[in-house]
Structure 1
Amino acid sequence: MRTAYRILAMLISIGVVVQAAVIAGAWFLVLNDLDSGTVLDKNSESNWAHVLHGQIGVLVMPLLALVLLIVSFFARIPGGIKWAAITLGVTVLQVVLAFAGFAAPLLGLLHGVNAFALAGVAGVAARKAREAGTPAPAQPATVS
């Protein structure tokens, strides 16, 4: 279970990187379309990268975080439940900030910053699992 916990936490951290790459690609596609004469207005459809960013962010990432929390109860990692819960909380905040960003664009800035927090807390969770799987160093023998 420790390995499953560690892999899930790492997948969440990697997911943040994938999300950053996909949203960057999405906006470069938009800029390319604008350069080609496309008009962008409220009737414009999202490009494939915007859609992928939304699907990963609303479906995949929260599912990974929820499964991480469930696994944490069985993994016997010191602090594992706490870091899995924090990861889930930051993931939920990320989704809330994404939707709130449409109504209040400045909250979109927090969505970007919170992504780094999500990668960080998931990274801590992965490290906790790695440390829990590492045997303690042997104590030197004492001569009495």
Structure 2
Amino acid sequence: MRSVYRVLAGLIAIGVVVQAMSVALGWFMVLKDMDSGAVLDENTDFNFGQVTHGIVGMMVIPALALLLLIVSFFARVPGGIKWALFVFGLVVLQIALAFGAWGLPAIGALHGLNAFALLAVASIAARRAAGPPAAAVTEAPATPTEATR
């Protein structure tokens, strides 16, 4: 389960990178289209980059965050539940900021900033899963007894 936890947290971090790439792609595609004479209005269809950003951000990352939270209860990662809760909370905040930005575009800056926090926290969660299990006890080696000499 530790490896599942690590993979899920890593996939969330990768998903944030995909999000940054897809939103940049989407807007550069819009700008290129506008340079070619296209008009951006309410009838404009979303392009590949914008669609990818929406799908990954509204479906893939939230599903991975929920799975990470569930797995965290069984993975025996030190602090794993806490870090999974941080990831899940930042994903919920990210979605709320995205919807808020439609009404107040300045909130979009917080949406971008929160993405960096999510990337960092998901990366930390993945790295924590690489360490020793939470139940591992570090004891001093037993002294040899008469029977083992």
Q: Say yes or no: TM over 0.5.
A: yes
SS at match of 1:105: coil
Structure 2 match to 1:12: 12
Regions of 4+ moved over 2 Å: 135-142
Q: Deviations over 1:73-124 (max 9, x none)?
A: 0001110000001100000100110111010001000000000000011011
d(CA) in 1 for partners of 2:100, 2:53: 16
1:29 aligns with 2:29: yes
* Aligned match of 1:46: 46
In structure 2, the residue matched to 1:68 is: 68
**1:27-86: CA deviation from partner (whole Å, max 9, x where unpaired):** 110011001000111221111210110011000000000000000000011100000011
1:123 correspondence with 2:123: yes
Report the secondary structure of 1:119's partner residue: helix
Looking at structure 1, the residues matched to 94 and 17 of structure 2 have their Cα atoms a distance apart, in angstroms, of 14
User: Which structure would you say has the larger Rg?
Assistant: 2
Which structure has more helix as a fraction of its residues? 1
Is there any run of 5+ residues in structure 1 with no aligned partner, and where?
none
**TM-score, normalised by the number of residues in structure 2:** 0.89
Q: Structure 1 length normalisation: TM-score?
A: 0.92
Number of equivalenced pairs: 143
- Check if 1:85 corresponds to 2:101: no
**For residue 98 of structure 1, what is the aligned residue in structure 2?**
98
The share of aligned pairs that are identical, in percent, is 57
CA distance in 2 between counterparts of 1:91 and 1:53 reads 14
Counterpart amino acid of residue 128 in structure 1: R
